[in-house]
Amino acid sequence: MNYDSLYKQSLKSPELFWETQSNEIEWFKKPQEILSKDSNDYYQWFNDGTTNLSYLCIDKHINDGYGEQLAVVYDSPVTHKKESFTFNQLYDEVSRLAGGLKSLGLEKGRYLFALHAHDTTSSVCNVSMC
């Protein structure tokens, strides 16, 4: 299926389209309700489902045996700095940052404003934790 046909399908039957797409990712709790509205009449997608994007982007690849495969390649046209991270290295860096934030009192469900530093590791970890 090409882009144009996928796009048309998404417009014609958005709920069916996104239900099909949702089957392509791993869920901790698979959603039973694809599209609903909240008390303010705002649409909610996959409201009763649970997944974790950090898990899908990092941990799943390690669990599938790709821990030593490159996950991120950073190549700055400004500083000419080049760095790369395997999934295992990325997991270690994200875990270290998460542990540091937890030791500072950050708890699950709390909001965090992260200002990206100008170094690769901080930028990659901040994005991966979101």
Tens-digit pLDDT profile for residues 94-105:
899 889 889 999
Q: Amino acid letter at 52?
A: N
Distances (CA, A) of 40 to 29, 34, 37: 25, 18, 8
Q: Where are the domains of the chain?
A: 3-45, 53-129
Sign of the CA dihedral 17, 18, 21, 22? negative
Write out the two tokens for 35.
Answer: 């599209």
Calculate what percentage of the chain has a pLDDT beyond 90: 65
Buried (b) or exposed (e) across 47-82, using 16+ Cβ within 10 A?
eebeeeebeebbbebbeeeebeeebbeeeeeeeeee
Tens-digit pLDDT profile for residues 35-76:
999 999 999 999 999 999 889 999 999 999 999 999 999 888
- pLDDT of res. 108: 83
Residue 53 CA from chain centroid, whole number: 3
For residues 39 and 25, give the distance between their C-alpha atoms in angstroms, rounded to a whole number.
28
Query: What is the Cβ-side half-sphere exposure of residue 15, based on CA atoms within 13 angstroms?
Result: 9
Is the confidence at residue 82, as pLDDT, over 60? yes
Is the confidence at residue 29, as pLDDT, over 90? yes
Mean local confidence (pLDDT), 13-29:
96
Q: Is residue 129 within a helix (H) or strand (E), and if so which, with residue range?
A: helix 120-129
